[in-house]
Amino acid sequence: MFYLDPMYLAFMIPAFLLVMISRMWVTSTYRKWGRMRNSLGMSGEAAAQRLLTQASLNGVTVAAAQGTLSDHYDPRDKTLHLSRGVASEPSVASLAITAHEIGHAMQDHEGYMPLRFRSAIVPAVSIGSNLGWILLIIGVVLRSFQLASLGLLVFSGGAIFALATLPVELNASARARRLLSDSGLLYSDAERGGVNSMLNAAAFTYVAGLASALLQLLYWASVVGGIGGRRRS
């Protein structure tokens, strides 16, 4: 089985550790700054209304999101979804998360090209992530270099999506920092530091996701390459 392959473990243990560290970092940072009340006592929902007006995004609506840290912006219906903790709590973390998601709304409004590219490849990646696995496994089992190579090509869509996601998220965080700075919602260095901590922790999750996707792709590339090498010998 592939999970017993020492080479697989060599590639995927670092990926697993990166993902775990990123999740722990986000959770601990949110726990810390989620307890710190912002100077204005403004909840995420109230901040969203103010920041949306400031950014001239009057067509964006605010709705509830289920779960914790499930906040996101949906460009299909121009809706900003805030989790209950972010929407209702007047914390520094709420300001950072809300502003970041509004950064995505700004990207959508402006037709930000990296966001448009990422959105365009979502259907292909969704199909390819499952189809790629199937083709890869069948190709490896049958020792078919052509089929395994096709599976690898289709499977690489996940890494391409992760790569496309990184600049989108970093840009949204940069917009969030400028938006909060211009809005006057941050009154102290501690609040500014908390916002930066939240945004940096969130950004690392996407770096870890990209590294994990690339390491997985490299492992399968080595497997497919091995089949090709034995085929030529």
Residues involved in catalysis: 101
Tokens at 74, concatenated:
């949906």
Identify the DSSP state of 41.
-
**109 exposed, middle or buried (CB, 10 Å; 0-12, 13-18, 19+)?**
middle
> How far from 160 is each of 22, 134, 165, CA to CA, in Å?
20, 19, 9
Distance between alpha carbon 165 and the CA centroid of its chain, in Å?
A: 6
Distance between alpha carbon 227 and the CA centroid of its chain, in Å?
A: 33
If you count DSSP H runs as helices and E runs as strands, how many of each does the chain have, helices first? 8, 3
Q: What whole-number distance in Å separates Cα of residue 138 and Cα of residue 154?
A: 14
Are 73 and 81 a contacting pair, CB within 8 Å? Answer: yes
User: What sign does the CA torsion over 37, 62, 202, 8 have?
Assistant: positive
